[in-house]
């Protein structure tokens, strides 16, 4: 951008600060249009200058003008950061387009909004296409079941272990939230590999009654023979996949097909929860990972991280998730 253009913007900023009465919606529109026309060619310094001017003009005007600016900037890849952040914290009528669509909001920006803005802001954040576990960890602490319902319905949301445990705990005392999680889990089982621990453990619940009955009939009983973690590890060491699945199913008291699915599906969360719910040892879990490596489901380089995740996962949380799956099937 030319020095003359920069000088003109600076002059607009200075004069509007001295005499706010000269600020009009038309002036903001002109500056915004100029920015949008030049956006692809602006340097970081240029963008900062535009941002300072647009912010000053916008917040000397009324809500409708700021809402219009919000709509214009929401889909920009590189909008003036200071303007976008301030609009996102503004009244909800102004903030909504930015909260839903702007890719320039950082996790820190979103976390601040969840912690400090209105319930409407929080619920809107929950609809974003991609939410990191940094943000969802804060959302699940929010005292608003409505926000959690929106979050649970968002397939683009990721969760940390702690965050998911908290969401599962809230679902245990909220029938609507629990029903939504179970519904999404059932959909995930037929559409794509689950992306959350709950979906991984509960998502494979059969949706048709005949499949439920088949799996129930397929579940081995304790009378089938003495099975211990030692015999399971022996089956793993003998590279006998069918025997491994059968013994795993006996140990965790699940159907063989479900046990096989948890053992071999790409998402490791299901196996973590299935084994942890029965408090299987780290040694046994590590042995099962050998099966996944042999089947090329898990990479050798990921083993240490997976075993650490298993070690740190809480038995009570795993049992709660497995119980939710069983109740969903009954």
Note whether 280 and 251 are within 8 A (CB).
yes
On the 0-12 / 13-18 / 19+ scale of CB atoms within 10 A, 263 is buried
Last residue of a domain, one of 81, 102, 123: 102
Predicted pLDDT of residue 36: 84
Predicted pLDDT of residue 134: 94
Note whether 241 and 293 are within 8 A (CB).
no
Predicted pLDDT of residue 24: 83
In sequence order, which ranges of 59-174 are alpha helices (DSSP H)?
63-73, 81-88, 92-101, 107-116, 119-125, 133-139, 145-152, 161-172
The answer on 314 and 203 residing in a single domain is yes
Last residue of a domain, one of 50, 71, 102: 102
Look up residue 87 and give its two tokens: 């609009």
Give residue-wise pLDDT tens across range 165-188.
Answer: 888 888 878 888 887 777 665 555
Domain count, the chain: 2
The answer on 204 and 91 residing in a single domain is no
64 occurs within a structural domain = yes
Predicted pLDDT of residue 105: 96
88 occurs within a structural domain = yes
4 occurs within a structural domain = yes
Note whether 203 and 194 are within 8 A (CB).
yes
Predicted pLDDT of residue 186: 57
139 occurs within a structural domain = no
232 occurs within a structural domain = yes
89 occurs within a structural domain = yes
Give residue-wise pLDDT tens across range 2-31.
Answer: 555 666 777 777 777 777 777 788 888 888
Distances 122 to 140, 263, 291 between C-alpha atoms, Å: 11, 37, 43
Q: How far apart are CA 147 and CA 124, in angstroms?
A: 8
Residues of the domain holding 257: 197-329
Nearest to 87 by CA among 76, 77, 97: 97
Give me the phi and psi of 131, to 5 degrees please: -130, 125
Contacts of 240 (CB under 8 A, 6+ apart): none
Nearest to 168 by CA among 150, 154, 152: 152
Q: What is the pTM of this model?
A: 0.56
Nearest to 262 by CA among 179, 328, 322, 313: 322
The answer on 208 and 315 residing in a single domain is yes
325 occurs within a structural domain = yes
Last residue of a domain, one of 102, 125, 141: 102
107 occurs within a structural domain = no
Nearest to 198 by CA among 238, 236, 155: 155
pLDDT in tens, the chain (330 residues): 555 566 677 777 777 777 777 778 888 888 888 888 888 888 888 888 888 988 988 999 999 999 999 999 999 888 999 999 999 999 999 999 999 999 999 999 999 999 999 999 999 999 998 899 999 999 999 888 899 999 988 888 888 888 888 888 888 788 888 877 776 655 554 444 444 444 444 444 433 344 443 344 333 333 344 788 888 998 888 888 899 999 999 988 888 888 898 898 887 888 998 899 999 999 999 999 988 988 888 888 788 888 888 888 888 888 888 777 776 655
């Amino acid at each position: 951008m030319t020095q003359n253009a920069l000088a003109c913007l600076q002059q607009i900023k200075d004069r509007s600060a001295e005499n706010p009465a000269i600020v009009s919606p038309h002036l903001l529109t002109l500056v915004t249009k100029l920015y949008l026309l030049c956006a692809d060619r602006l340097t970081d310094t240029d963008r900062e200058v535009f941002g300072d001017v647009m912010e000053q003009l916008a917040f000397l005007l009324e809500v409708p003008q700021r809402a219009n600016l919000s709509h214009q900037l929401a889909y920009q890849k590189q909008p003036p950061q200071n303007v976008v952040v301030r609009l996102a914290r503004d009244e909800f009528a102004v903030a909504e387009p930015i909260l839903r669509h702007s890719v320039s909001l950082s996790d820190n920006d979103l976390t601040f909004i969840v912690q400090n803005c209105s319930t409407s802001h929080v619920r809107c954040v929950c609809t974003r296409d991609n939410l990191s576990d940094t943000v969802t960890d804060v959302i699940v602490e929010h005292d608003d079941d409505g926000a959690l319902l929106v979050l649970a319905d968002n397939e683009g949301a990721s969760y940390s272990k702690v965050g998911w445990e908290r969401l599962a705990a809230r679902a245990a005392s909220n029938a609507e939230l629990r029903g939504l999680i179970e519904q999404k889990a059932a959909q995930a089982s037929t559409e794509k590999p689950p992306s959350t621990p709950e979906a991984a453990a509960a998502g494979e619940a059969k949706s048709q009654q005949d499949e439920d009955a088949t799996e129930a009939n397929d579940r081995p009983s304790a009378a089938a023979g003495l099975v211990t973690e030692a015999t399971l590890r022996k089956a793993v060491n003998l590279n006998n996949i069918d025997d491994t699945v059968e013994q795993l199913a006996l140990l965790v008291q699940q159907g063989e097909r479900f046990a096989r699915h948890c053992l071999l599906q790409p998402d490791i969360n299901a196996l973590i929860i299935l084994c942890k719910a029965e408090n299987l040892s780290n040694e046994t879990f590590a042995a099962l990972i050998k099966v996944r490596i042999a089947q090329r489901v898990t990479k050798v380089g990921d083993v240490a991280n997976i075993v650490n995740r298993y070690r740190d996962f809480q038995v009570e949380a795993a049992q709660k998730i497995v119980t939710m799956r069983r109740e969903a099937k009954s």
